[in-house]
Structure 1
Amino acid sequence: LLKWTIFAIISFIIANVFLAYIIGADALYDVIKEGPAENIGTLVGLVFFSAMFYFVFAWFREQACTLVCPYGRFQGVLIDSHTINVTYDFKRGEGTAGRAKFKKNEDRKAEGKGDCIDCGQCVVVCPTGIDIRNGIQLECVNCTACIDACDEVMEKVGLPTGLIRYASEDDIKRGEKFKFTKRLAAYTFALLLLIGAMTAFLFSRSDVESKYLKVPGTDYKVEGKYYVNQFEYTLYNKTNADQIVTVQLLSHKNSKVEMYEGENKLNMEKGQIIQGKFFLKIPMDEVKSYKEKVVIGLVNQKGKVIDKYETSFSAPFKY
């Protein structure tokens, strides 16, 4: 009863995390505060996913890896005899006389017995229930639990560790140790390149994402010495702090930004998306094209430009 209760609690927690990923942690917190009576649809979804995860815990278990997860299928297609994988050293483990139970004070090498003492611990700890000694199988998720279990047994019986280890099939057949090959170097370089690119994108990400588009169906207007366009904006605060921002035109010095409603000082709560419209006015003598390229910036309270967006500004065609 205790086990099934723990499974149910873990399933409920995972379902909440899954829901928070979909609707956002803040939205989930608001749902919890409002209570289930006010959010029947959300409650039904939560119960459904809790039941699904509980089903995996209670019965489906390793079949999730065997039948549902595509990793094994991909692995079967992509690996070959040179691929480094969790592998059983069958030459050392089987010897010439095969596996045999461990006996004290015996000379296993003289008798031709392999180092595998057939304890079965590698099978016991495997989350998908396979026997790695039968070779690489699609159910293997490379968790390395069999490596740890086997090494522990080898230490207890006084035999070298590494009977199950990371190695390629070719390395096992030739009896060679792990080598950092050109192929591995290429994969490592590609991986480091991807990590570097992701890190660069992460640190160059703006706190607030902004987008400005001309209001559909509108054209330029003339007000005194200014050409005027109507724009709509979408701002997304990606931080966990409230922001106060203003919209400014960075590409033209004497331009003006006038909001449809209120002043040009927008309050954004954490994680909030706001939309609105504004008039963009540029002096005629600063407009050089009927489709003028403009850069609109978002400026925070400290006067720092936190995001930029390039778009076009309509004006009369000049011959």
Structure 2
Amino acid sequence: FFFVYAYFREQVCTVICPYGRLQSVLLDRNSMIVAYDYKRGEPRGKFKKKQEASILFGDCIDCFQCVKVCPTAIDIRNGTQMECVGCTACIDACNKMMDAVGRPQGLIRYASENGIANGKKLVYTGRMKFYTGILIILAFGLAFLLSTRKDVDGTIIRAGGMLYQERGEDSVSNLYNIKIVNKTNKDIPVTLKLEDANGSIIEADGKDIQVLKEAQGKGSFFIVLPRSFIKERKTTLRVGLYEGDKRITVLKTNFLGPFTKSSAKTI
């Protein structure tokens, strides 16, 4: 970033940032932009504070303050340009100079091209209503996602390259890997429990999974089921994530077992 700020500077806005190029697609003559009121400001000329401006000059005193403060070094008085990033630094600089010479603020302001040309105030057009509606929908969508997101979430995946393991004559196990995301600001010890299944979970290292705050936790574990419970080749299981006795969330996974068509008829 030192190279960018020390040498590249405004070239970032004109070469890398797509904002300026998007303006040509999204703007029309009724769009609100940072604009110079050429009808009020032209022709340019200098005069002192409290001195009546000559009828030969407009309000612009040609001080170039708007150009000096512009991060991309453009002259906003030449109209909308690709390099403009809408930072409004020129508005602040111009208002300060207008105060210094006793003229009204707003020579550079948010306005539309038609508004300046016709001397009319902003008209709330259909396009603006459409964009407003889109922004409202996006805002509500973001609020919904934030309000319904889980503080702790995760994924369970069967260990790759492995089928099931037979444990004696009456039990079968599968090996799983789990990744847990903790979005809270506290450490959480997570215990795994089977939901709605007659079986057990055995952690590979024999310990609960410790998930640090705002971090991820990983672990491996076996799910052991009795053969009598397996009635399909692939059985859907629900694994509960618990903090003590409090259930945080429930994850789903599949269990593979030694199920055949002949055994199905027997069952």
**Same-fold call, TM cutoff 0.5:** yes
Confirm or deny: 8 A CA contact 2:154 2:178 kept in the other structure.
yes
**1:107 Cα deviation after fit:** 5.4
Q: CA deviation at 1:88?
A: 0.9
> What number of residue pairs does the alignment pair up?
259
**What secondary structure sits across from 2:24 in the alignment?**
helix
Report the Cα distance in structure 2 between the residues aligned to 1:99 and 1:272, rounded to whole angstroms. Answer: 60
Cα–Cα, structure 1 residues 283 and 184, in superposed 2: closer, same or farther, change >3 Å? farther
- Decide whether the 8 Å contact of 1:210 with 1:308 is kept in 2: no
Q: Which runs of 5+ in 2 are unaligned?
A: none
SS of corresponding position for 1:155? helix
Gaps of 5+ in 1: 1-51
Does residue 198 of structure 2 align to residue 254 of structure 1?
yes
Once the two structures are TM-superposed, the CA of residue 195 in structure 1 deviates from its matched residue by 2.6
Aligned-pair CA distance for 1:221 = 4.9
1:118 pairs with 2:62: yes
Paired residue type of 1:88: Y
Task: Give the whole-Å Cα distance in 2 for the aligned partners of 1:272 and 1:92.
Answer: 58
**Aligned in 2, Cα 1:71/1:107: closer, same or farther, shift over 3 Å?**
closer
Identity %: 44
Counting only pairs closer than 5 Å after superposition, residues 1-319 of structure 1 correspond to structure 2 as: 52-53=1-2, 55-94=3-42, 98-103=43-48, 104-106=50-52, 108=54, 111=55, 113-221=57-165, 226-250=171-195, 252-263=196-207, 265-283=208-226, 287=230, 289-301=232-244, 303-315=245-257, 316-317=259-260, 318=264
| TM superposition score normalised by structure 2 | 0.82
Q: Aligned in 2, Cα 1:102/1:229: closer, same or farther, shift over 3 Å?
A: same
The 2-side partners of 1:214 and 1:77 are apart by 48
C-alpha distance in 2 between matches for 1:168 and 1:188: 17
* Distance (whole Å) between structure 2 residues aligned to residue 76 and residue 84 of structure 1: 13
Please say which structure displays the higher CA radius of gyration: 2
Aligned to 1:15: none
The alpha-carbon distance between structure 1 residues 284 and 184, as it changes in their structure 2 partners (threshold 3 A), is: farther
Letter in 2 for 1:106: E
Shift of 1:190: 1.6
User: In proportion to residue count, which structure has more strand?
Assistant: 2
Aligned-residue CA RMSD in angstroms? 2.7
Distance 1:168 1:225 in 2: 79
What displacement does 1:233 show? 1.7
Q: Name the structure 2 match of 1:14.
A: none
The structure whose RCO (Cα within 8 Å, separation 6+) is larger is 2
Whole-angstrom distance in 2 between the partners of 1:283 and 1:200: 42
Letter in 1 for 2:148: S
- Work out the CA distance in 1 between the residues paired with 2:128 and 2:247: 43
Please tell me the residue identity of whatever aligns with 1:99.
R
Amino acid at match of 1:65: C
Structure 1 moving runs of 4+ over 6 Å = none
Kindly indicate which of the two structures has a greater share of residues assigned to helix: 1
| 3-state secondary structure, aligned to 2:128 | helix
Offset at 1:126?
A: 1.3
Contact 1:84 1:168 in 2 (8 A): yes
- CA pair 122-212 structure 1, distance change in 2 beyond 3 A: same
Deviations 1:151-180 (A, max 9, x none): 222233333322211122222222211233
Shift of 1:262: 0.9
Contact 1:210 1:298 in 2 (8 A): no
User: What is the Cα deviation at residue 225 of structure 1?
Assistant: 5.3
Q: Measure, in 2, the Cα distance between the counterparts of 1:140 and 1:130.
A: 7
Question: Using the alignment, how far apart are the partners of 2:46 and 2:86 within structure 1?
Answer: 26
